[in-house]
Structure 1
């Protein structure tokens, strides 16, 4: 009876967890509204759809976590749903994030080829297949139970958590390297002063910073699961994953932020880049951000109708 009465009211960890979840839900909803403001269907490309899907899956996870955190004490159904939310929405956001990084790598390395015509893109797509195995491990080797006090405990056993940690870290690091390398090579073949003032250089720098942040946050999150052997209190596990997906989305939001208007008004912006031969670089940024494409820019080896409209 004492334990039951203690769990009727939320403890301090539950209050903190719910507050964090509400903040994250609000941040994601605000970012989604800002990203879609003024957008039309005709401007939606494959890369932009991936960004919006990332927002949607992350918001769904945070919203679900907010509800489950407040109901998982003495409730095995809510506890199980919390683990299922991680398997569906959290894992889904990770896969979408991988696909988004692959799209960015394709845009800066194989601009003349369609996706399925590129051997590198097909190879990268194949790299997503092992995640199906990891998802199977997550569904098989998991912990879901209630303690004698009624606290919900969820997590992944070593068979799943270690594989997930290695795969997530290695794939993110590999894709980030492939994206940054060709952008830096562009700078080596052009004037360093002009290159450092281009939007593509700023985009490369932002992507590198964002990737490092996402790598560290995701690595720490999964490492915690490994250290605790998958026996975390449900609200702690859900809160850490909520912060993880929110940080990922906000860094992607920062990287894909529309800066075209600012660049047009600043020295060394779009107009200057057109005069100095950096049209190619600035056109590429339009596919990798939510900037409107400028029909006045005509670059033969980039403007293939099937690729630009994808």
Structure 2
């Protein structure tokens, strides 16, 4: 299976999640977060991998929407792809810049435990931006699939690659049968073509359902994580911040993996 850009993003997300877990384990269990230096290293590590994973997830959603149009437009010619990437880079870049400029990392005077986090001027824009971008990209993806879901009534394929996915297999089967002296009648070809289209429609309806469920599922741990951070005014204990961020990132990776599964994988085929 070729490693296209969307699969590369998924592998990068897997790597970021594993690296994040390994880094937090070293900082928490190895260094103990008992010094100011290790405490500041903890917040920077958390910011790098947490924001980085969010950017990778949003780029995955952008690339998935572009995959519907890739037969029609290349990335440099797809204004939707260009605008989406620009919004993600500028938006998350600005939020990350503020977070790195004003991190919270100190040893509490009462118990000398590391407290890390980011101020509300970072957490509020982060969760708002994450929700809006996630909802917008999922909406775009579903909107681009809507014309394809009209196959059942129109029997017309609006996109080239969709046509290739239904008509070409039928033609290929006809050619192979003809080589063995078997000719398909026009009605058989017509029925086979419609059956292929119906199968494609069912797959795309499942894809829409999975996209909506995945979009909501991704946001739940993020909202809980940021909500707790706001409650404690951006000063969580280091181990707690690591735990919540790790759960958030790991859950997002699981959702992306769920979105990447096709029906054959889900059925064990």
TM-score by length of structure 1 reads: 0.67
Q: What is the Cα deviation at residue 170 of structure 1? A: 0.8
User: Are 1:130 and 2:94 an aligned pair?
Assistant: no
Name the residue aligned to 1:208: 212
After TM superposition, the structure 1 stretch with the greater mean CA deviation from structure 2, 62-71 or 159-168, is 62-71
1:55 maps to which residue? 14
Distance 2:250 2:142 in 1: 23
* Structure 2 Cα separation of the partners of residues 58 and 262 of structure 1: 23
Encode CA deviations 1:102-141: one digit per residue, 9 max, x unaligned. Answer: 0011122454100111111111111121211111110112
After TM superposition, give the deviation of residue 208 of structure 1 in Å.
Answer: 1.6
Moved over 6 A (4+): 261-265
- Deviation of the 1:155 alpha carbon: 0.5
Q: Provide the rounded CA distance (Å) in 2 between the counterparts of 1:242 and 1:261.
A: 27
Q: Among residues 147, 151, 154, which one is paired with 2:116 in the alignment?
A: 154
**Structure 2: gaps of 5 or more residues:** 155-194
1:173 equivalent to 2:135? Answer: yes
Judge conservation of contact 1:165–1:223 (CA < 8 Å) in 2: no
**SS of corresponding position for 1:112:** coil
Judging changes above 3 Å, is the alpha-carbon distance between structure 1 residues 183 and 264 closer, same or farther for their aligned structure 2 residues? Answer: farther
* 8 Å contact kept, 2:149–2:204: no
Alignment correspondent of 2:59: 99
Do the aligned residues in 2 keep the contact of 1:196 with 1:202 (CA within 8 Å)?
no
Residue 76 of structure 1 contacts residue 145 of structure 1 at CA under 8 Å; is this kept in 2? yes
Say if 2:149 and 2:201, in contact at 8 Å, map to a contact too.
no
Kept after mapping to 2: 8 A contact 1:72/1:151:
no
Question: How far off is 1:197 after superposition?
Answer: 6.3
| Correspondence for 2:227 | 223
Q: Which has the larger radius of gyration?
A: 2
Q: Count residues in correspondence.
A: 224
1:47–1:227 distance in 2 versus 1, CA, 3 Å: same
**How far off its partner does 1:100 sit?**
0.5
Tell me which moved more, 256-265 or 199-208. Answer: 256-265
RMSD value, Cα? 2.4
Following the alignment from structure 2 to structure 1, what is the Cα–Cα distance between the partners of residues 255 and 91? 25
Q: Which residue is 1:78 aligned to?
A: 38
Contact conserved, 2:117 with 2:234, CA < 8 A, in 1? yes
In the alignment, structure 1 segments of 5+ residues that lack a partner are: 1-38, 266-310
1:167 and 1:188 mapped to 2: Cα distance? Answer: 33
Distance 1:264 1:185 in 2: 30
Contact in 2 for aligned 1:74/1:152 (Cα 8 Å) = yes
Deviations 1:222-268 (A, max 9, x none): 22212221011111111000000000001111111244477797xxx
Q: Is the 8 A contact 1:83 1:154 kept in 2?
A: yes
Aligned residue in 1 for 2:3:
44
TM-score (norm 2): 0.76
1:267-292 Cα deviation digits (max 9, x unpaired)? xxxxxxxxxxxxxxxxxxxxxxxxxx
